[in-house]
Chain A
Amino acid sequence: MNRSFIARNPSVLVFLALLALFTLVVSVLSEGFGIGLVSTSFVKTLGKTLCLCLIAVAMDLIWGYAGILSLGHFAFFGLGGYMIGMWLMYERTRQIVVSSLSEGVLPPTPEEIETGIAGQIFGVVGSADFPLIWAFADSLVIQLALVVLVPGILALVFGWLAFRSRVTGVYLSILTQAMTLGLSLYLFQNASGLRGNNGLSGLQNLPGVSAPQSVVSMWFFWASALALALGYLLVAWVVSGKFGSVIRGIRDNEARVRFLGYSVESYKLAVFTLTACLSGIAGALYYPQAGIINPAEVAPIASIYLAVWVAIGGRGRLYGAVIGAAFVSLVSSWFTGGQAPDINLGFYTIQWVDWWLILLGLSFVLVTLFAPSGMGGLVDLLMRGKKRGGNT
């Protein structure tokens, strides 16, 4: 990352500056560190939105630049969340179990503690044993590594099978959709070892931390902002050079790139895996702010929303993905959260909780038909107008 990279991509600098400013403003207004104008729950919403922006940047890399419409990236996002959730839940439960057992006459044995934790966590699914996949749940370091490794390895194996067979276009989209549906259905089972449809909960409580949520929420907000900044920088750097040229070439004419001597499959696999890892990180930051993760989060619809955000924001430009994810997800939570006023037409009342999806679908269709470059295209239009004005 040299000077010429930033110099050639002024939009990266602008984005980072705006993100820093936004982070500062929210910090000053927060309850935890500032004057308290922004509630803790809204800080969490904003922090979660930043994570959604990060996965949208990943989605833009794979779809906008490499032309692979993956409808399964929320599977990787969810897996990242589950991996960190396992440690959070294990460690917090362990502390509770230890403190309750220490009230006895004899100090508790490790077996008693282990059985206590397992009973607490898995009682809801009628089990009292730790499944094998929880083997490392006591280690924060390993679970943090798994946040990247589990989505990465799944993407590597899945991508290798799919790309090697030259599955492309809508068929690949369907395949990724099937993957996320399969994962979701698997997780719904009580025997999956991840508490079935109960999911993992209480994730907002950091074990061993007595700071109030108003403070913890700001920590996660900052971490999310930092992750988005680094992720944006990484992806912008990846697409800035010849690698970006090659993957855009693959998007526009795969066969031609092959005849230039590039192994198209390796490039697709690299991008698929990298974006899966980024999605895992985004998920690991998102769910501690949401407090709970359950298999519904991995349902296919989530990944379709992701594609809608990126399309509305504008494909093939990273700030477009960020604008789309931030705008649509915030507006969406406003409408579906019941805050939007109902419209009474006399004979019929439009309730936004029901009608929001129709509005979203309609705007998706309209953007696809009439503004393929999305909201990010407006930025281009402004810049071009300015340039033209300067020349004449």
Chain B
Amino acid sequence: MSTLLEVSGVSVSFDGFRAINNLTFQIGNAELRAVIGPNGAGKTTFMDIVTGKTRPDSGHISWGEKNLSLIGMSEARIAQAGIGRKFQKPTVFEDQTVQENLLMALRKDRGPLAVLFFRPSAADLERVAELAGEIGLTDSLLRVSGELSHGQKQWLEIGMLLAQEPRLLLVDEPAAGMTPAEREKTTAILVEAAKTRAVVVVEHDMEFVRRLNCKVTVLHEGAVLAEGSLDHVTKNQEVIDVYLGR
């Protein structure tokens, strides 16, 4: 399996606090990975660095077959290169309809002029309807997304990510605030998505991670503490000490 994203020796400090400390991380094409760790372990900062929001002090990030360096690229260009991100809090555009949200995310030319003259074709609307089916929002296409339930907003955001057709999906706590039934559906969507692309899920909830049934990376104080199957890492004494033992 070839490597899609390779993060090596990355460090970043905020006002002297080392949020990420010599972090090394790899993920291949079509892989599902869970990242766990206590609060302040650097999970969100890790995502900020990969998506270009935060610039690391040192280290390398290489992307894709051409080993493109992501450091110094703008958020928009990184997103266009194929990295999609879902935030912890569902962030959809609340005063726009589900359809408008999905159309905006659809993989198309992002330039202002192209967007100005863009009018959705029948194929685009079909693709949007298909995505809405996948995330269970077929009946809500023309509803304003602010009216959706919390869980539905989470799905809409996942749908928007899928519409972007990214090669790597970074998902921050997708199951937060969901009912058990909604969690199950979210698991199914993520597992399905990981068949054709890399998916990194940051999660607190061990039960949810167990259901994902994938390789787990444990972060602690900005570095990787352990990596392997969930059973493997939960038996690791260091992991028990810093995280599970509490």
B111 touches A259 (CB 8 A): no
Q: A253 on the interface (CB 8 Å rule)?
A: yes
Tell me, yes or no, whether A39 is within 8 Å of chain B by CB: no
Kindly state whether residue A43 has any CB partner on chain B within 8 Å.
no
Instruction: Report whether A259 and B94 are in contact in the complex, using a CB–CB cutoff of 8 Å.
Output: no
Q: How far is the CA of A150 from the CA of B77 in the complex (A)?
A: 32
Whether B26 is near chain A, meaning CB under 8 Å from some CB there, is no
Asked if residues B110 and A261 are in contact (CB atoms below 8 Å), the reply is: yes
Q: Given that A245-B104, A258-B79, A261-B79 are contacting pairs, would A266 and B111 also be in contact in the complex, using a CB cutoff of 8 Å?
A: yes
Report the bound CA distance from A243 to B85 in whole Å: 22
Contact present for B75 and A259 (CB under 8 Å): yes
Kindly identify, within residues 219 to 268 of chain A, every residue whose CB is under 8 Å from any CB belonging to chain B. Answer: 238, 241-243, 245-246, 248-249, 252-253, 255-256, 258-264, 266-267
Can you sample 19 A-B contacts with CB below 8 Å?
A: A2-B119, A242-B104, A242-B115, A242-B120, A246-B104, A249-B93, A249-B104, A253-B93, A255-B53, A258-B74, A259-B51, A260-B104, A260-B105, A261-B79, A261-B164, A262-B110, A262-B115, A263-B110, A267-B112
- A252, B79: Cβ atoms closer than 8 Å: no
Q: Is the CB of A270 closer than 8 A to any CB of chain B? A: yes
Main secondary structure of the interface of A (DSSP, over half): helix
Within 8 A of A (CB), among B39-55: 51, 53
CB closest residue in chain A, given B106:
A242
Do the beta carbons of B112 and A266 come within 8 Å of each other? yes
- Bound-state CA distance A32–B51 (Å) is 64
Q: Are B116 and A243 in contact (CB under 8 A)?
A: yes
> Chain B's nearest CB lies how many Å from the CB of A165?
13
A8 to chain B, nearest CB (A): 11
Contacts A245-B100, A246-B104 known; A260 to B118 CB distance under 8 Å?
Answer: no
Report Cα–Cα, A266/B74, bound state, in Å.
13
Chain A residues near B79 (CB, 8 Å)? 258-261
A62→B74 CA distance, assembly (Å): 24
Checking A259, A262, A270 against B85 with a beta-carbon cut-off of 8 angstroms, the contacting residue is A259
Q: For B111, give the chain A residue with the smallest CB separation.
A: A266
CB neighbours (8 Å) of A242 from chain B are: 103-104, 115, 118, 120
Collect the chain A residues with CB atoms within 8 Å of residue B53's CB.
255
Q: Which residue of B lies closest to A4 (CB)?
A: B119
Q: Which A positions have Cβ atoms within 8 angstroms of B?
A: 2, 238, 241-243, 245-246, 248-249, 252-253, 255-256, 258-264, 266-267, 270
Complex formed: what's the CA distance from A243 to B116 in Å? 5
The closest CB in chain B to the CB of A249 belongs to B93
Give min CB distance, B93 to chain A, whole Å: 5
**Cross-interface CB contact of A260 among B111, B116, B160, cutoff 8 Å:** B160
Check if A263 sits within 8 Å of B115, measured CB to CB: no
Is there contact, CB below 8 Å, between A243 and B93?
no
Contact indicator A252/B116 (Cβ below 8 Å): no
State A102–B76 Cα separation when bound (angstroms). Answer: 66
**In the docked arrangement, what's the CA distance between A243 and B104, Å?**
9
Hey, which chain A residues are within 8 Å of B51, CB to CB? 259
| Contact present for A241 and B76 (CB under 8 Å) | no
Q: How far is the CA of A2 from the CA of B119 in the complex (A)?
A: 10
* Selected contact of B87 from candidates A238, A243, A256, CB within 8 Å: A256
Chain B neighbourhood of A267, CB < 8 A? 112
Instruction: State A2–B112 Cα separation when bound (angstroms).
Output: 20
> Interface centre among A243, A253, A259, by most B CB within 10 Å?
A259
